[in-house]
Structure 1
Amino acid sequence: MGIMSFLRNRAGAIIIIAIGLAIVAFLLSDAIRSGSGFIADANSKIGEVDGEKISYQDFNTRVDQNSQQFRAQMGNLNAQMQSYIVENTWNQMTSSIILEKQTEKLGLTVGTAELFDLMFDNPSPQMQQIFADPNTGAFNRANAISSRKSADTEPSGQLKAQWVSLEDNILHERSNQKYLALVRNGVYANSLDAKDDYTNKNKLVNFDYLVLDLASIKDADVKLTDADYKEYYEKNKYRFKNQTETRTFEYVVFDASPSKQDTLEAKAKIDKIAEGFRTTDNDSLYVAINADTKEPIAYQKKGTLEPALDSVMFNASKGYVYGPYIADGAYKVAKLVDSRISPDSVKARHILLNPATEGGMDKAKSKADSIKNLIQKGASFAELAKEFGTDGSKDSGGDLGTFARGSMVPKFEDAVFNGPVGQVFTLETQFGVHVIEIQKQIGSSKVVKVAVVDKQIAPSSQTEQAAYQKAQAFIAAVKDQKQFEENAQKQGIVKLVADDVTPLQGGLPGLDDARSIVRWAYQADKGDISNEIFTVGSKYVVAVLTNVKPEGTLPLEQVKKQIEPSVMHLVKGRMLKEKADKALSGASNLAQVAQKLGVTTSSVENIVFANPIIPGYSQENIVVGSIFGSQPNKLSKAIVGDRGVYVYTVKSFIEPAAFTNAAKSKESLVQTMSSQADGAVFQVLKENAKIKDLRAKFY
């Protein structure tokens, strides 16, 4: 575990970990009550589930907590990741409310004894992760109980609040598990179900067929009528239910990316910096003064440097300067400060003193020296850590476990990786004053310390102004959608389309963070030109709203373009079926039909109903289903499939061995259905719940 976790007081660590792990759980604690927020006005409501309000404050707190958890694992979050977090948090909170209402209806509860058991005797996954022993990974029951007891006396009350939240989360999760268990226990398969499943997977069919491929008719030769569209729409109306309102808009982009002159100026700056970098004797200070990106200079093992450096620095001599080179949108120059053979990992322990509570840095250093002297004279490091330590490691005797490079802050890391085993010393970092003992160093490999100075290749103010003026001229010249299209075509600007954008969508084609544009689209009317120029990174954007699809079943006109390929399929299938029906008239076998149509027949063997694929062609559910319902040696009717129109003759069915193990088949079926039950039941509950989603007003 990294030093960032250990170098905090116990309460803080428990709070952070408990929050993070609680929200990772599928079913969250449900402390969302309409009267619990600090802001009571209607604008604070971000949503509602079956009459139960979700306040903006509660929701935003959860989003922040989820973001912290993701950031700890993945670093900085981009717009898409942040959008995902908002969506995931919404799903978690609505899931929790919906399922809790079901458990309340059924009277499902968790007793005090059961809750205690889930927390300390047979701990839930959350408890196991939060209170895992850093060395063994096993649940540390003593630490969990100690923390729970200290929550009642901790002065700030924060630890108590987080324990209450954790207990509620575990309680509601178990209630929801009980509800879903009831659903799964209601899943049943009888002997007929089992026999049908066995037959579908094992009965074989051999048949001959011919096919008239839909692709044999060119699209240009087909004229679609309104009646064709209506026929398909009425048959498939259920497919066009819009779960949420969507909007479509077109937009043009004026890019203010760095010009050739901007790039040349950045190159001139880095060339000058490189000259001084070669001769400076204070690399850290030089990087701090000249680099656009300030990063600590630390030893790194092979494979952790950026590719351009990883291939050269491990074979270079101290003082070697590489570059300038371009990486991550910047000119860079790198210098090999040092290289050495170093341990791969270190086991260490420490005692952290907080200068704020010791009366200042000088007093903290003096106390650290005294503790170090006691240890060197034989005092127990572990006991002194428990007595004087101020971070989460004190309860385990200051043990930090075994860690590799990159786990600790550079100053701490350099000290424990470069010092001798057994050394006890003091060290000052941004977290306070440490008394450290290096217990063990494992393995050895070459590491390098590389200093990097970068200069971003950024657009100049002149470049940005020129792009903005182009966008300004464009927006001033257009008043409606027709003028928007004409002006874009006249200027040779590529017009981009954002189809069916949802209210909380974060990114658009070519634009990573487009929330401002999406928010505008949901406040505009069809045909509106954006009343502002949107700035997205180094790009300026002007948009026009072209379509609005409301929630609910969409009318034919809204989906006409979308369904055109399917309508084309319908009409082609009808045309080829008429052709096949004429060939079938008077024919007594498949060969005669093939001769009339001018096509060849094919033979297929050993097809099963459960895998309806015609080899070398495609999956044809309707055709294979029809085949298994036919009589042998009988010429079929023309069947319209996904790829064409088929005519076939069944040669034979091969019946499977006698069905003897109904119990095992039923068990297998039940397992399959049970694994799908959780998601299916929640989907049904969600569809039946009255959910108001107002997030787009806030995010």
Structure 2
Amino acid sequence: MGIMSFLRERMGKILAGVIGLALFAFIVGEVVQSGGAFFRGDVNNIGQVNGENIPYVKFSERLEQSTQQFKQQSGQSLTPQITNYIQETTWNQFLTELLLNKEINKLGLIVGPDERQAMISGNNPDPQIQRQFVGADGQYDKTKRDQFLNYLQSPKVDPTQLKAWADFVIQLEEAKKQQKYMALVTNGLYVNSLDAQDDYIAKNKLANFKYTVLNYASIPDANVKLTDADYSTYYNEHKSEFKNPQELRSFEYVSFNAAPSTADTAAVKAQVDKLVTDFKATNNDSLFVQINSETKAQLAYMKKGQLEPRLDSVMFSADKGFIYGPYLSNGSFKVAKLVDAKIGPDSVKARHILLNPTTEGGVDRAVAKADSLKKLIAAGRPFAELAKNFSVDKVANEKGGDLGTYGRNTMDPVFEAATFDAKVGDIKVVTTQFGVHIVQILDQKGSSKVVKVAVVDKPLLPSTKTTAAVYAKAQAFLSSLTPENFDAQAKKAGLTIKNAEDVNATAASALGLDNAREVVKWAFKSEKGTFSDQVFSVGDQYVVARVSAIKPKGVLPLDVVKKQIEPMVRIQVKGKQLTDKLQAALNGASGIDQVAQKAGSTVVPLQNIVFANPVIPGATAEYKVIGTVFGSQPNKLSKPVAGQQGVYVFTLDSFTNPAQLTNNVREKQQIGQALAQRSQGQVLDALKDKANVKDNRAKFL
């Protein structure tokens, strides 16, 4: 009975414990399968800096902002390389902010209320504020700023705008704190009189000397046998140079070309050939292009030099309806038709009022309103006044709706056609993808022949039959592989093995592969010597790869860098041999001429060499040699000095000292400016080197 009572009393706790253990076991199992991401939080964080997480969501938001900003500013399409650049830049922004903020918080740097107010609405506001509020003359407009600040205080303020402004102010404050931190660093730099004196002497003191040299190239590489001791000696002397800031991997690969075959080329050309007759006969060239062309470009008038070269050379002297092609251009078969030719202006100056159909209740209502505004303008109402009151183009409104002067192919095609075909003074209502415009032509300049050319293109792509056959070859090669026979099978198949060396985990491309992201991701999940478990499709290539080297983060061991340092080790061994040869020539020699004669070399005189520019004319920069020269006494034979090109012996003839430095202010300023310019980058490098940075980007990107 006592046991039963105990169990009844404790049953709830026992059941809770059993369930808890079961849940724990389940979680542990999931963690093991997912590599421990549950406890580490890596599943949601793209990185970590000194224990502070960088959430993937936050990184992704800023990456999207940076990407959109790049598109707007450059107008370029995104390539894998550009995408990788934007990702790297965004990552470095996060690192910089987290590293600097930690130091800023340590120092207690803040932006107080008065300072914040001065940055926004003071007499000399922050440059970012000045760029936000620009008048019609392109200069900072205080009135516009004040109007906006008053709007933020009004009940009608848009919550979205209010939030965006709050975020903007936070960014201003963060940037200001970073400026303060950097100011502390740069203001702490000090250049003393001795620094100025040394810099002056280095730039102005002249050395006159003679030298003889035995070049490393004088010993054939085949005559130098490198030992393990040679490698170890060089490695230990240069160990600090082999610090790897991030893990790198190398992979070898073979590729199977899946470019279009001769049959594919003939088939695509035949498709275009069949279109020529119908293209010539059609009365609706624009519709024909939309239906039959891969590129759905709207037809527009072009002036000389705006067409691709082969069309530019024939269309301006051809008759309307002329057909050119088919021809192969930029990976597509094309056929072109001259739709029209005429004389027209080179540029137009116009102004407009833009109505948004969505807020006006539809396109029809927007057009009706535009017609009403057009009548008001014709009746004498100021265009600028109506633009200010009705147009949604706030940028143009600052100039009374003025769009400035623009050339052909710079505006929306429909808008452009309407304004180039009109006469000066005309007022037109035009509907484009941006809305409904009331546009007035202010001026037209120039006069030249323009042509409207319709182009139908069909991309030259490999057929399914071609890609299937090439893929089958790649798959057969993959099936034949074992861990030991990659090289042999490649040689048997007549394939060239290419080596993509030192690829980082976020790389988008590699040697010969423009879009190698999937291959890189695989390589960073695989062990050295492992070949891929699939055939990768990269552009018009099918790729099979093998991981050839792994360079972990940190100081790389000798076996990893052995191949890399082999040329330097060979030079060091040659240097020892040449040093011994010159040392023997020095024994009993009374001058540089005797040394050269005994060593089988020649003597070269040099005049007016400065320490700050340690270049031997006709050779290369020889820092060690020139440094040794400036530390020598005249008329004494030097010991052998191993330089960049070979081993040197020299004798200093004389120094020519500059005039005494009486005013070192300019030298101090120059050195100080150089230090200040380098300081920001060096501070960030030092903080990054000291920080504990965990980079998980390869798992997400």
TM-score (norm 1): 0.91
> Which structure 1 segments of 5+ residues have no match?
1-39
The reply to whether residue 207 of structure 1 matches residue 209 of structure 2 is: yes
Q: Distance in 2 between matches of 1:306 and 1:147?
A: 48
Choose which of 437, 461, 465 in structure 2 pairs with 1:462: 465
Q: What residue is the counterpart of 1:175 in the other structure?
A: 177
Q: Which moved further from structure 2: 353-362 or 119-128? A: 119-128
Q: What residue is the counterpart of 1:82 in the other structure?
A: 83
Q: Which amino acid aligns with 1:438?
A: I
Q: Which moved further from structure 2: 184-193 or 433-442? A: 433-442
Seen in structure 2, the aligned counterparts of structure 1 residues 665 and 131 have a Cα distance that, compared at 3 Å, is same
Cα shift at 1:123? 4.4
2:225 match: secondary structure: coil
Partner deviation per Cα, 1:252-281 (whole Å, 9 max, x = no partner): 111111001111111112222233323322
Does the aligned pair in 1 maintain the 2:42–2:696 contact within 8 Å? no
Seen in structure 2, the aligned counterparts of structure 1 residues 409 and 244 have a Cα distance that, compared at 3 Å, is same
Choose which of 552, 555, 562 in structure 2 pairs with 1:553: 555
Q: Distance in 2 between matches of 1:119 and 1:420?
A: 46
Seen in structure 2, the aligned counterparts of structure 1 residues 270 and 126 have a Cα distance that, compared at 3 Å, is farther
Partner deviation per Cα, 1:484-512 (whole Å, 9 max, x = no partner): 11110100111111111100011012211
The reply to whether residue 232 of structure 1 matches residue 229 of structure 2 is: no
Partner deviation per Cα, 1:228-262 (whole Å, 9 max, x = no partner): 00000000000000100111111111111100111
Q: Distance in 2 between matches of 1:447 and 1:143?
A: 43
Q: What residue is the counterpart of 1:540 in the other structure?
A: 542
The reply to whether residue 252 of structure 1 matches residue 254 of structure 2 is: yes
Partner deviation per Cα, 1:216-236 (whole Å, 9 max, x = no partner): 000000000000000000000
Q: What residue is the counterpart of 1:303 in the other structure?
A: 305
Seen in structure 2, the aligned counterparts of structure 1 residues 305 and 222 have a Cα distance that, compared at 3 Å, is same
Q: CA RMSD in A?
A: 1.9
Q: Distance in 2 between matches of 1:280 and 1:139?
A: 55
Q: What residue is the counterpart of 1:424 in the other structure?
A: 427
Q: What residue is the counterpart of 2:625 in the other structure?
A: 623
2:443 match: secondary structure: strand
Q: What residue is the counterpart of 1:54 in the other structure?
A: 54
Does the aligned pair in 1 maintain the 2:208–2:606 contact within 8 Å? yes
Q: Distance in 2 between matches of 1:244 and 1:393?
A: 46
Q: What residue is the counterpart of 2:99 in the other structure?
A: 98
Choose which of 388, 402, 406 in structure 1 pairs with 2:409: 406
Question: How many correspondences in the alignment?
Answer: 658
Q: Which moved further from structure 2: 657-666 or 574-583? A: 657-666
Q: Which amino acid aligns with 1:220?
A: A
Q: Distance in 2 between matches of 1:679 and 1:672?
A: 12
Cα shift at 1:604? 0.8
Q: What residue is the counterpart of 2:661 in the other structure?
A: 659
Q: What residue is the counterpart of 1:679 in the other structure?
A: 681
1:453 match: secondary structure: strand
Q: Which amino acid aligns with 2:103?
A: Q
Partner deviation per Cα, 1:433-485 (whole Å, 9 max, x = no partner): 221222233444443322211111110000010011011101111121x2111
Q: Which moved further from structure 2: 67-76 or 308-317? A: 308-317
Q: Which amino acid aligns with 1:51?
A: G
Q: What residue is the counterpart of 1:191 in the other structure?
A: 193
Q: What residue is the counterpart of 1:452 in the other structure?
A: 455
1:272 match: secondary structure: helix
Does the aligned pair in 2 maintain the 1:151–1:157 contact within 8 Å? no
Q: Which amino acid aligns with 1:83?
A: N
Seen in structure 2, the aligned counterparts of structure 1 residues 554 and 394 have a Cα distance that, compared at 3 Å, is closer
Q: Distance in 2 between matches of 1:141 and 1:336?
A: 53
2:450 match: secondary structure: strand
Q: Which moved further from structure 2: 410-419 or 433-442? A: 433-442
Q: Which moved further from structure 2: 314-323 or 82-91? A: 314-323
Cα shift at 1:541? 1.0
Q: Which amino acid aligns with 1:405?
A: R
Seen in structure 2, the aligned counterparts of structure 1 residues 302 and 103 have a Cα distance that, compared at 3 Å, is farther
Partner deviation per Cα, 1:525-561 (whole Å, 9 max, x = no partner): 1121111111112221111112211100011001000
The reply to whether residue 136 of structure 1 matches residue 125 of structure 2 is: no
Q: Which amino acid aligns with 2:680?
A: D
Q: Distance in 1 between matches of 2:259 and 2:579?
A: 56
Q: What residue is the counterpart of 2:418 in the other structure?
A: 415
TM-score (norm 2): 0.90
Cα shift at 1:356? 2.3
Cα shift at 1:70? 1.5
Q: Distance in 2 between matches of 1:116 and 1:425?
A: 47
Seen in structure 2, the aligned counterparts of structure 1 residues 189 and 104 have a Cα distance that, compared at 3 Å, is same
Seen in structure 2, the aligned counterparts of structure 1 residues 142 and 413 have a Cα distance that, compared at 3 Å, is farther
Q: Which amino acid aligns with 2:244?
A: N
Cα shift at 1:647? 0.8
Cα shift at 1:142? 3.4
Seen in structure 2, the aligned counterparts of structure 1 residues 83 and 123 have a Cα distance that, compared at 3 Å, is same
Q: Which amino acid aligns with 1:327?
A: S
Q: Distance in 2 between matches of 1:539 and 1:118?
A: 56
Q: What residue is the counterpart of 2:112 in the other structure?
A: 111
Cα shift at 1:371? 1.5
Cα shift at 1:395? 4.4
1:618 match: secondary structure: coil
- For 1:423-442, list aligned pairs within 5 A: 423-442=426-445
Q: Which amino acid aligns with 2:143?
A: A
1:619 match: secondary structure: coil
Q: Which moved further from structure 2: 250-259 or 347-356? A: 347-356
Q: Distance in 2 between matches of 1:394 and 1:215?
A: 68
1:613 match: secondary structure: coil
Seen in structure 2, the aligned counterparts of structure 1 residues 649 and 248 have a Cα distance that, compared at 3 Å, is same
Q: Which moved further from structure 2: 115-124 or 231-240? A: 115-124
Does the aligned pair in 2 maintain the 1:325–1:331 contact within 8 Å? yes
Q: Which amino acid aligns with 2:674?
A: T
Q: Which moved further from structure 2: 425-434 or 596-605? A: 425-434
Q: What residue is the counterpart of 1:605 in the other structure?
A: 607
Q: Distance in 2 between matches of 1:362 and 1:191?
A: 79
Q: What residue is the counterpart of 2:36 in the other structure?
A: none
2:43 match: secondary structure: helix
Q: What residue is the counterpart of 2:265 in the other structure?
A: 263
Seen in structure 2, the aligned counterparts of structure 1 residues 447 and 112 have a Cα distance that, compared at 3 Å, is farther
Q: Which amino acid aligns with 1:110?
A: V
Does the aligned pair in 1 maintain the 2:346–2:408 contact within 8 Å? yes
Q: What residue is the counterpart of 2:4 in the other structure?
A: none
Q: Which amino acid aligns with 2:660?
A: A
- For 1:9-48, list aligned pairs within 5 A: 42-48=42-48
Seen in structure 2, the aligned counterparts of structure 1 residues 317 and 100 have a Cα distance that, compared at 3 Å, is farther
Q: Which moved further from structure 2: 684-693 or 567-576? A: 684-693
Q: What residue is the counterpart of 2:566 in the other structure?
A: 564
Seen in structure 2, the aligned counterparts of structure 1 residues 314 and 189 have a Cα distance that, compared at 3 Å, is farther
Does the aligned pair in 1 maintain the 2:300–2:413 contact within 8 Å? yes
2:598 match: secondary structure: helix
Seen in structure 2, the aligned counterparts of structure 1 residues 131 and 275 have a Cα distance that, compared at 3 Å, is farther
Q: Which amino acid aligns with 2:422?
A: G
Partner deviation per Cα, 1:16-43 (whole Å, 9 max, x = no partner): xxxxxxxxxxxxxxxxxxxxxxxx9641
Fraction of identical pairs, as percent: 50
Does the aligned pair in 1 maintain the 2:396–2:403 contact within 8 Å? no
Does the aligned pair in 1 maintain the 2:345–2:448 contact within 8 Å? yes
> Which structure 2 segments of 5+ residues have no match?
1-39
Seen in structure 2, the aligned counterparts of structure 1 residues 418 and 132 have a Cα distance that, compared at 3 Å, is farther
Seen in structure 2, the aligned counterparts of structure 1 residues 418 and 127 have a Cα distance that, compared at 3 Å, is farther
Cα shift at 1:321? 2.6
